[in-house]
C-alpha cells in the first residue's frame, strides 16, 4: 500500500487531515476490481469463457460515480491500470448483445442501473492525456456504437430532439445532461 499511497504527497495543517486524505486515496483503489483467474480466463458478458490477451481484466465499473474524478486520477497515478480498465471496457462492448460499452457492469452482468454512457468519457480522457496503448479506432467505434443504441434510456429521442422529453422518459433532464457530457 505504501507504493500506491506514496504516489501523491500532501502537506496538511493537522495530522487528522492527512489521515483523511490518505484514507480517501486508499478507497480509490478498492474498485474496479480484478476479474480473471491466474491464467487470464474470465466469464464474459456473453456468459462464455474468455482470456484477457495483453491486459488485466477488470469489472465493477460504476461509471456514473467514477468517470468525473476516479478515472482521471487513475490516468495520472495509475495509467497502466486505467489502460487495462479501458481494454476491459472494450472487451465488454465486444461481448455485449447490445454492442455497448459498460454502463454499470458487475462481473459477467450489466446492471443498467445508471444513466449516461460514461465509458466514452473515460476513454476520451485517456486519449486526450495520451495514456494507454488501447486501440483508439476500436475505442472510437465502440463509443459511437454505444451512443447510437436508440432504444437505451431515451437516446433515440435525444438524437432526434437534442434533449430527452419528460413525457417519453423518466429523469429526462438528467439524461439530457449526461448524454451531452458523454457526446
How many C-beta neighbours within 10 Å does residue 11 have?
Answer: 6
Query: How far is C-alpha 180 from the chain's CA centre?
Result: 17
Q: How far apart are CA 65 and CA 61, in angstroms?
A: 9
Helices (H), 6-69: 15-27, 63-66
CA–CA gap between residue 79 and residue 84 (Å, rounded): 9
What domains sit in the chain, N to C, each tagged with a CATH number? 2-182 (1.20.1050.60)
And the C-alpha cell for 68?
A: 468525473
Cα distances (angstroms) measured from residue 12 to each of 7, 16, 24, 25, 28: 16, 9, 14, 15, 20
Is the preceding peptide bond at 32 cis, omega within 30 degrees of 0? yes
**Cell for 175?**
439524461
- The burial of 102, by beta-carbon neighbours within 10 Å (0-12 exposed, 13-18 middle, 19 or more buried), is given as buried
- Per-residue pLDDT of the chain (183 residues), as tens digits, is 899 999 999 999 999 999 999 999 999 999 999 999 999 999 999 999 999 999 999 999 999 999 999 999 999 999 999 999 999 999 999 999 999 999 999 999 999 889 999 999 999 999 999 999 999 999 999 999 999 999 999 999 999 999 999 999 999 999 999 999 999
Cα–Cα dist 96/110, whole Å = 9
Amino acid at each position: 500500500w505504501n507504493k500506491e499511497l506514496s504516489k501523491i504527497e500532501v502537506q496538511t495543517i493537522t495530522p487528522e487531515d492527512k489521515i483523511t486524505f490518505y484514507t480517501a486515496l486508499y478507497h480509490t483503489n478498492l474498485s474496479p476490481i480484478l476479474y480473471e483467474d491466474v491464467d487470464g480466463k474470465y466469464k464474459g458478458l456473453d456468459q462464455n469463457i474468455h482470456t484477457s490477451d495483453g491486459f488485466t481484466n477488470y469489472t465493477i465499473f460504476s461509471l456514473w460515480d467514477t468517470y468525473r474524478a476516479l478515472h482521471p486520477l487513475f490516468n495520472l497515478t495509475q495509467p497502466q491500470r486505467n489502460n487495462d480498465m479501458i481494454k476491459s471496457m472494450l472487451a465488454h462492448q465486444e461481448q455485449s448483445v447490445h454492442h455497448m460499452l459498460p454502463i454499470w457492469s458487475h462481473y459477467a452482468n450489466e446492471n443498467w442501473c445508471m444513466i449516461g454512457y460514461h465509458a466514452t468519457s473515460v476513454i476520451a480522457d485517456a486519449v486526450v492525456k495520451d495514456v494507454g496503448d488501447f486501440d483508439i479506432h476500436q475505442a472510437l467505434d465502440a463509443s459511437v456504437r454505444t451512443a447510437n443504441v436508440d432504444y437505451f434510456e431515451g437516446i433515440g429521442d435525444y438524437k432526434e430532439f437534442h434533449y430527452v422529453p419528460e413525457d417519453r422518459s423518466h429523469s429526462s433532464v438528467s439524461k439530457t445532461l449526461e448524454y451531452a457530457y458523454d457526446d
